[in-house]
Structure 1
């Protein structure tokens, strides 16, 4: 599990109470603050970085040294005193934040972007304090709007991970946000085990399937659980691949395309060791199998220990600064991972209902994954996918498909 010790927090900020937002389409939210989305492979490679704690490094210096363009800023939590409003680390209200906004501005000025991670190992999660998925989504929508986000990560860990209602709130919120924010890159991160993930992880997959929710990836964290070196991690990833197929009904290629790795560099909290060579081995596995994500915890630790052995701020293995971040940059350059989908053999429909002609595009298939912009025919109409989708019927309540009219 992520045992993320916060070495130093900013002074507690006032938490501003807010009313729940009514969620509508936020497709223009990011444009309103002048941000441009990166290609999805950068969000899929974004390593975690705590911008306010654990001696945060200068992200622009890291970008210049490694070529990495995106970072996963951590973590959004419920206020330490309770409530359903978003804060950084449980202490700094998002509504009044200027510090993290400044960090994001510097990253974007250097040509990069950020995703924001909600949850993590410590603190109280919004899924635990918000009453419903809609209330949770409203809280997270404040974060998306505040920073003009194109990507968000749901890092679902203990004790929330073992709370069925809280996980329902988180997954339901993720689904609402995915539908309300066109093109939003959504990752779900969970603990890893030698079997891929544990009982609570398989329950999470089952709940996502029951909701009809498919994120861009489900990622496991194969560390702090009896792991040691790359072979144990790739074995866990292969086991998780089998779970994705069996619990979500995906074929092999679709499962790989929506599977992610979230590692830990250097010495883990459980005294496991992962060296640069281990990262290279897992990277080779990820790119050869076209996994949907490759990231790690954390950039704050991506430097050698000199005056301290504090596991929150250095790796406790021999290295040069930012060695491990270079692997995420390589992943982003190796493949645009989430563009890989499995398609069934193409068939066409010749129905003439509604448009008087034939639909000369492939018929929609319930077992095919489609990227945004894909076109299909269904019930005599041509449809275009607004974002990545799997199993959502054209014209159905998910609102994934735009009706282009009869054909």
Structure 2
């Protein structure tokens, strides 16, 4: 999977998957793979009848780099069932062993620009499980940029410690699948990190996310599984990217393609565990597997994963006892607006299909009440930090102030962002209001590490002091309490500091430099 910013392409570029070449059927619990004399019959583990939703889990991928400012008011990260898989952590550069979000943002950048630390803490307090995905189809993977096992393990650890994560997802695709040196280093680093965490009493679960074809994992994908098992990594499972199949039989649904690929992958996983003398869990191969469709429009133009496909895949997953279901992505789980004229072109913020009020996360996550690690998600409120204009990271909300869309405030130890221009309205945490009716969206708690909010200051005398009796025209600049402001239009008697929260109707705008 990948953040949808690179040119769309199939993961099997130049390859068409023909059902004349690939026979994949199920008879009495056996999988038949191949055609003619070459066909092979292999057993597939089935989950015990006692398997339930409390043992299985759902978590959608979420591209943390897409939402900032006003967009956070409409964020889907904290909505819907199940957990969240934060994507994607990659290296800062080809030779820079520094974890970043999407290469463009450091972990500190994500805290300030996307409020990621705050939103993670909110999910933790709500008991929502979290995982972090490393890799993806674009940018440089940490395993390629970090030249030693120790450096790579340390880079992984920085991310896990920052967000309190005990489950990692390694999304390996593209050139990374064929890089033997990187593959060996990754496996050794993950094994080292997993041993360290186990010794510390903080176990680490590891998932491999790999591309699949209708006949299962590719040879390169199987090599990644073997590399991890050879290094002594205890794999929680293998997550199949059931997407972008590019099959030449257009009459076969995406659900059937996905289910066929999962059946084939199950037999491959059973074989891999047997070959490495690793005992399977009670649920067999299915309890070592996940499925991740790309909801709606896929990168391949004729591959469209519909809500009906989601329902069929969810039914199969429940019947088979599939451990994990995910999707790419939570950011896209909505119908495209009428102003988007290219629904068949993949969008980062909508699915490309009519959802009629339904969500893919609701369908795929229904009844899946487990957590990625199988351990209870940590819950509980930390002590609330009192509202104090001297220490709060944003202005404390006041019924006497005006607020433009995208303005952040603090109220009762929590941070909110305004969805539209408002003043003298309901308090941000009004419990009687539905979320859609409130002018405010809850982002997360005030954190002990937050820095106090402060306006930018300029050297004394940079501009003349604002005076209530003066007439100001567009372009005039003034100082007020050490901060610089520029007039947007004619005004008199309107204090410049109103522009801090009211960007729409204040005649002034804030200056950060002369």
Asked if these proteins are the same fold (TM beyond 0.5), I'd say yes
Q: What residue in structure 2 maps to residue 103 of structure 1? A: 119
**TM-score of the pair, normalised by structure 2:** 0.54
Matched-pair contact (CA < 8 Å) for 1:52–1:100:
no
Cα distance, 1:81–1:200 mapped onto 2, change above 3 Å:
closer
Cα 1:229/1:273, change in 2 over 3 Å: same
Identify, as 1 or 2, the structure richer in strand: 2
User: 1:53-68 counterparts in 2 under 5 A?
Assistant: 53=66, 63-64=78-79, 66=80, 68=81
What is the match of residue 5 of structure 1? Answer: 4
Q: Which moved more, 1:84-93 or 1:249-258?
A: 249-258
Q: Residue 348 of structure 2 corresponds to which residue in structure 1?
A: 312
Structure 2: distance between partners of 1:337 and 1:109: 17
Q: Which runs of 5+ in 1 are unaligned?
A: 8-39, 340-407
Deviates more, 1:134-143 or 1:157-166: 157-166
Q: Tell me the alpha carbon deviations over residues 80-122 of structure 1, each in whole angstroms, 9 at most, x when there is no partner.
A: 3631111111122225642321221233344424211110111
- Cα distance in 2 for residues equivalent to 1:43 and 1:141: 26
Are 1:330 and 2:330 counterparts? no
Identify the match of residue 240 of structure 2 among 216, 220, 230: 220
Counterpart residue number, 1:257: 287
Would the alpha carbon gap of residues 169 and 327 (structure 1) be closer, same or farther in structure 2, given more than 3 Å must change?
Answer: farther
8 Å contact 1:301–1:315 — kept in the other structure?
yes
In the TM superposition, what is the alpha-carbon distance from 1:184 to its structure 2 partner? 2.4
The Cα shift of 1:62 comes to 6.0
Please state how far the C-alpha of 1:128 moved relative to its aligned partner: 0.7
CA distance in 2, matches of 1:120, 1:62: 19
**1-structure distance, mates of 2:139, 2:175:** 9
Structure 2 counterpart of 1:74: 87
Structure 1 residue 236 corresponds to structure 2 residue 256: no
- Cα deviation, residue 203, structure 1: 1.1
Report the count of equivalent residues: 303
Is residue 121 from structure 1 mapped to residue 121 from structure 2 by the alignment?
Answer: no
Do the aligned partners of 1:127 and 1:170 also contact (CA within 8 Å) in 2?
yes
Distance in structure 1 (CA, Å) of the matches to 2:3 and 2:56? 21
**Residue in structure 2 matching 1:246, options 254, 259, 271:** 271
Q: Tell me the distance in 2 between the aligned counterparts of 1:337 and 1:5.
A: 25
Tell me: CA distance 1:121–1:264, structure 2 relative to 1, closer, same or farther (3 Å): same
Aligned-residue CA RMSD (Å) = 2.7
How far, CA to CA, are the matches of 1:174 and 1:41 in structure 2? 28
In structure 1, the residue matched to 2:401 is none
Higher helix share: 1
Runs of at least 5 residues in structure 2 that lack an aligned partner in the other structure: 7-52, 248-252, 375-514
1:281 CA displacement: 1.3
C-alpha contact 1:224 1:269 (8 A) present in aligned 2: yes
Q: What residue is the counterpart of 2:404 in the other structure?
A: none
Q: 1:50 to 1:61 in 2, by over 3 A?
A: closer
**Which residue in the other structure is 2:106 paired with?**
93
Q: What TM-score does the superposition give when structure 1 sets the normalisation length?
A: 0.68
Partner of residue 328, structure 2: 297
- 5 Å-filtered alignment, 1:184-199, equals 184-199=204-219
Classify the secondary structure of the residue corresponding to 1:230: helix
2:174 is the counterpart of 1:158: yes
Rounded Cα–Cα distance in structure 2 between residues aligned with 1:115 and 1:59: 22
Q: Secondary structure at the match of 2:318?
A: helix
Cα separation, partners in 2 of 1:330 and 1:180, compared to 1, 3 Å: farther
Change (3 A) 1:57 1:72: farther
Distance 1:205 1:331, change over 3 A: farther
Tell me, what secondary structure is at the counterpart of 2:98? coil
1:268 corresponding residue in structure 2: 298
- Quick check: 1:6–1:54 contact (8 Å CA) kept in 2? no
| Contact 2:57-2:365 within 8 A present in 1 as well | no
Shift of 1:146: 1.1
Instruction: Say if 1:75 and 1:105 are closer, same or farther in 2 by CA, change over 3 A.
Output: same
Residues 178 and 284 of structure 1: is their aligned pair in 2 closer, same or farther, counting only changes over 3 Å? farther
Change (3 A) 1:280 1:212: same
